[in-house]
Structure formats: C-alpha cells, structure tokens
Amino acid sequence: MAATYDLINYDSEAEQENDPHGPPRANLFAAAFYASRLLSANDIQYAIMGGFAMICRGSQRSTSDIDIVTEANMARLWDVITPQPRMIPLTSQHRLKIPNTRLIEGVIKVFVETGPKYNDTACLENRWIEVDLMIPGFKGTPTQLSSHIVRLPVAIGDEQHEIPCLDILYMMRSKLRHCVTRGMDKDVEDVQYLLKNFGTEISNIQHQLNQDEVDQFLTLDWAAAIPPSLMAYYRQTLGR
C-alpha cells in the first residue's frame, strides 16, 4: 500500500506561499515521468495541463505542482494509486503518498517523491511533488480527451522526451476561465505567453473559445498597461 497524508489539513496555497519559486524543474519532470509510467502501465490516457504544461511549451514560469487530466473515473484512479505489486515495483511503492480519505470529487492529490535516491535525471535534491489527477470534464477539461492531446518535446539534461499535454484549445479555455474567475497574475501572464508564442494556433481556434471570457479578459486591469499595437494583436488573434 502507498503511504497516506492528511487531506483535511493540507493547504496547497499555503505550501505555495512558503515556497513561491516552487521545486526544481528536474524534480517536477521526474514526478511527471513517474506519473506517466504509472498511468501508461494501466492503459489510461492522460494529458498534462496547467502551469507545468506551460513549462513544457517553453515558459520560464514557476509551478509547485503538476495537473494531469485523465480518461479514468475516480474508482479507476483509486485502483491505480493504491498500488498492488503487479502495478508498481515493490522498490518504489513508498514513493507515492495518497489521501487518507476518498471523500473527494473530481481530483485526487497525490505526492511523488523524487530525487537522487531514485536516480532521477538531473535531480540534485529529494523533493515531494504534488500531482493532481483529474477525471475527464473536471473544471472544463475535455470529456473526450484523446483528440485533445499533443506530444511536446522536452530536454532533461542530455535526455530527450515527449510529454502528452492538453492542446492549445483547452489550454486557452482553462487559462481564460482562470483569468476571469480567480484573477491571478500568473494566469494573465500565461495567456499573454500563449498569445505571443502560439498566435497562429490560437487564431485557428478563436471561434471555439468562450467569447464572454475573452471579452472579460481583454478588459481586466492588466490591459491598461499594454501598448496599443500589442493589444491590437491580442484582439486580432482572439477574434475581437
């Protein structure tokens, strides 16, 4: 059995305030690869989303956790993360911490230990990394995941990898939603990064975005500080 932690007394936001720069990237990637192996071994399709998916797209932003949307329901995810010997080698069972309760909805927060003790590539210290496993459709994620996965190339040390991430449509949908609901600077910065670096892709899917959220995004406080020429580009890319 995996080790457990007290879900009721765990506060993700407090942890982020205590460590605003987040864990080293090498440890984040190590946790992502571990989760990837676990899900793939159980034939579960998945895609990285959120801040870590931004990093996979070249952003220099920080993040403290890894968000993964899966094609599994909650019962299936519990079967996978409550490991049996045939699912995870005995030597790595204690690498995973799971919640001490199943009274949760839509997402399961687990923790993966990473670092030199597991020979993780480029890791210089041992760190526990939060990994949030979500069911399809949770918080606006696609209900049919397979057609919204892109494989992004990343380099870790001397190693080359491909990581399945949400496509640009659902990255934009989720980020725009966050911009207008929780109003955090990092969400606005993420949308600006996507607009600057993936403008053509966004233009192609602009009609599939929530137009009310697009309009709200363009009228938030950040817009007043943007040069008119850049704002015109943002509006054109978003179809406004």
Question: Residue 183: pLDDT above 90?
Answer: no
Question: Residue 6: pLDDT above 90?
Answer: no
Give Cα 133 distance to the centre of its chain: 9
Ordered by start, the domain boundaries in the chain are 3-166, 170-237
Where residue 5 falls among pLDDT bands split at 50, 70, 90?
A: low
Question: Residue 90: pLDDT above 60?
Answer: no
Q: CA-to-CA distance for 164 and 194, rounded, in angstroms?
A: 17
The residue among 131, 113, 134, 110 whose CA lies nearest residue 7 is: 110
84 CB neighbour count, 10 Å cutoff: 10
The residue among 96, 44, 48, 40 whose CA lies nearest residue 69 is: 48
Q: CA-to-CA distance for 123 and 27, rounded, in angstroms?
A: 6
Cβ atoms 129, 27 nearer than 8 A: yes
pLDDT above 90 covers what percent of the chain? Answer: 67
| pLDDT one-digit tens code per residue, 189-236 | 999 999 999 999 999 999 999 999 999 999 999 988 999 999 999 999
Q: CA-to-CA distance for 237 and 240, rounded, in angstroms?
A: 8
| pLDDT one-digit tens code per residue, 111-125 | 898 999 999 999 999
Question: Residue 88: pLDDT above 50?
Answer: no
DSSP string computed for 80-91: HHS--TTTS-GG
Q: Average of pLDDT values for 161-186?
A: 94
- Please tell me the class of the 3-166 domain: alpha beta
pLDDT of residue 55: 97
Torsion region of 15: left, alpha or beta (phi above 0 gives left; psi -120 to 50 gives alpha): alpha
pLDDT of residue 21: 75
> What does the DSSP 8-state code read for residue 43?
T
